[in-house]
Amino acid sequence: MSITINQSKCTGCKNCICICPGNIIRLDAERKAYLKRPSDCWGCLACMKSCPVQAITMMLPPELGGQGGKLSLRTDGHRTEWTVTRSDGTRRTIITDTEEANQY
């Protein structure tokens, strides 16, 4: 799995670099975060959850059946708003809440 960091949004706060369980995000010469070893990404999304400016998204690669849709998220306390933006521009939003247990 692989995430994409939008460098024009990145503020260089290093949250993602710190939290990544694989130590695979680094800061470049312009003090912007970049994925140093893209093929090593597990897709856990710890980085997305830690980013204060929503600069990180995840796209499903074609070999996993991806159609070009992108996943982004915004966390507010125990609530997380997840958005899938499909390649045709349509969106689907789902809210999860860590205070609500899984039903399955």
* Binder of other proteins out of 29, 64, 76, 89 (CB under 8 A): 64
| Strand ranges, E, within the chain | 3-5, 25-27, 33-35, 56-59, 70-76, 79-85, 91-97
For residue 60, the tally of other CB atoms under 10 A from its CB is 17
CB of 48 or CB of 55, closer to other proteins: 48
Binders of other proteins among residues 72 to 91 (CB under 8 A) are 78, 80, 82, 84, 86
Can you name the residues that pair with 71 across neighbouring β-strands? 58, 84
> Is 46 a binder of other proteins (CB under 8 A)?
yes
> Is 29 a binder of other proteins (CB under 8 A)?
no
Q: Which residues contact 89 (CB under 8 A, 6 or more apart)?
A: none
| Minimal distance, residue 15 CB to other proteins, in Å | 10
Total of residues contacting other proteins (CB under 8 A): 47
| Minimal distance, residue 85 CB to other proteins, in Å | 10
